[in-house]
């Protein structure tokens, strides 16, 4: 007899549950109506019921919260009123205490705001020697002392003495000024006399200098005229000598030997050379003609050479063309052979296909289709 173990029972229950769920799923899947329409009324009813329960629960919770909020508002209002009453009582007590025990006369700074402070204070200045009359206090200025009349009389006496003293000093200054003017006039007269003497001496000296300069200029003019005459005469003599030399020299006579150079017969002195003679010109012309004939000969040889090369290129091109045509002919023959081979292969393939189509083929039976769609997974 076998004993059932709890673990085995649990596995059996799990397998039975899975089988039941699989059967339910197969019923849903294999039922054509449910599979096409796709509606599950039981699940919908469960969802509607759950939604209603949720709404009722939320409504009850909201009502609970609202009641609690109303209660809290009432409590807050009561506490606010209580706090206002407490503040009023505290302010009233503070005012009573200030009126009883904190009067203005007992304050430490009452002297700053005492309305009778001016009546209680001493005057700004009792006398001129009052110790309170400091400089920064500005209670005593010059001319505002108590001994003003006496001081005024003393000042008048002092001003009168100063005026007398200034008048005496002015008279002495006038006398000194007159004396200085007299001395200045005498000095100017002496200076004028000396200036006149110097002017007369200067005029005499200037006349003597002018006479000497005039005499010297006359001598210079005579010497200059003589010098010019000598220079002109020497220049004329030099010109005559130069003309004579040119007339009898090699330059105007066109002597070809004068252009001969010390470096050889093929070199000439360009500043004296008058040009080539007839023999030299004929020699140059003959050389030039020889060069022309030589150039024509070279051109003819080059033309013959180019013609030879052109002939060679033509022959080579003709040979290349023949070779290319031969190669194209071979390619056509190869292509023709390949086409024949492909045609024979195509015929063989067509025959094989017809044979395969004519052979019998196996048809699927009911057993082949019955093995599908047997499970929900």
* 209-218 tens-digit pLDDT: 888 888 888 8
Distances (CA, A) of 128 to 75, 120, 149, 252: 78, 22, 14, 132
The answer for 38, left when phi > 0, alpha when psi is -120 to 50, beta otherwise, is: left
Q: Is the pTM of this model over 0.85?
A: no
Q: Alpha-carbon distance 246 to 236, whole Å?
A: 15
pLDDT tens digits along 105-140: 888 888 888 888 888 777 777 777 777 777 777 777
Count of residues for the chain?
A: 377
In this structure, are strands 260-261 and 264-268 parallel, antiparallel, or unpaired?
antiparallel
**Which residues does 327 contact at the CB level (< 8 Å), separation at least 6?**
none
Distance CA(217)–CA(329), nearest Å, equals 125
pLDDT tens-digit map of 42-91: 777 788 888 999 899 999 989 999 999 999 999 999 999 999 999 999 99
In 3D space, the residue among 2, 25, 26, 27 whose CA is nearest the CA of residue 12 turns out to be 2
Do residues 272 and 251 touch, judged by C-beta distance below 8 A?
Answer: yes
For residue 217, give both structure tokens: 């200029």
Query: Rounded to an integer, what distance in angstroms lies between the CA atom of residue 249 and that of residue 272?
Result: 12
Strand partners, 45: none
């Amino acid at each position: 007899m076998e004993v059932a173990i709890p673990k085995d029972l649990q596995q059996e229950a799990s397998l039975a549950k899975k089988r039941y769920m699989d059967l339910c799923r197969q019923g849903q899947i294999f039922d054509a109506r449910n599979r096409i329409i796709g509606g599950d009324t039981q699940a919908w009813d469960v969802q509607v019921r759950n939604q209603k329960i949720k709404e009722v629960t939320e409504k009850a919770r909201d009502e609970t919260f609202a009641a609690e909020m109303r209660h809290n508002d009432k409590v807050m209002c009561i506490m606010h009123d209580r706090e206002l009453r407490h503040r009023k009582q505290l302010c009233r007590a503070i005012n009573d205490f200030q009126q009883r025990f904190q009067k203005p006369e007992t304050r430490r700074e009452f002297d700053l705001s005492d309305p009778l402070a001016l009546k209680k204070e001493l005057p700004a200045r009792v006398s001129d020697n009052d110790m309170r009359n400091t400089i920064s206090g500005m209670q005593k200025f010059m001319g505002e002392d108590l001994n003003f009349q006496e001081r005024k009389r003393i000042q008048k006496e002092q001003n009168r003495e100063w005026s007398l003293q200034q008048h005496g000093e002015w008279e002495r200054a006038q006398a000194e000024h007159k004396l200085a003017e007299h001395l200045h006039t005498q000095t100017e007269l002496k200076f004028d006399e000396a200036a006149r003497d110097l002017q007369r001496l200067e005029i005499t000296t200037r006349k003597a200098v002018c006479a000497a300069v005039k005499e010297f200029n006359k001598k210079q003019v005579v010497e200059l005229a003589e010098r010019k005459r000598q220079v002109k005469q020497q220049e004329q003599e030099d010109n005559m000598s130069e003309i004579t030399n040119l007339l009898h020299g090699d330059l105007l006579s066109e002597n070809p030997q004068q252009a001969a150079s010390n470096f050889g017969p093929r070199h000439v002195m360009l500043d004296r050379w008058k040009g080539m003679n007839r023999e030299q010109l004929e020699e140059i012309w003959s050389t030039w003609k020889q060069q022309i004939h030589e150039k024509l000969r070279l051109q003819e040889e080059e033309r013959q050479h180019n013609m030879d090369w052109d002939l060679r290129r033509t022959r080579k091109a003709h040979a290349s063309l023949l070779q290319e045509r031969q190669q194209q002919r071979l390619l056509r023959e190869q292509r023709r052979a390949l086409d024949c081979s492909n045609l024979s292969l195509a015929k063989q393939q067509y025959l094989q296909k017809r044979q395969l189509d004519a052979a019998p083929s196996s048809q699927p039976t009911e057993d082949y289709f019955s093995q599908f769609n047997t499970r929900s997974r």
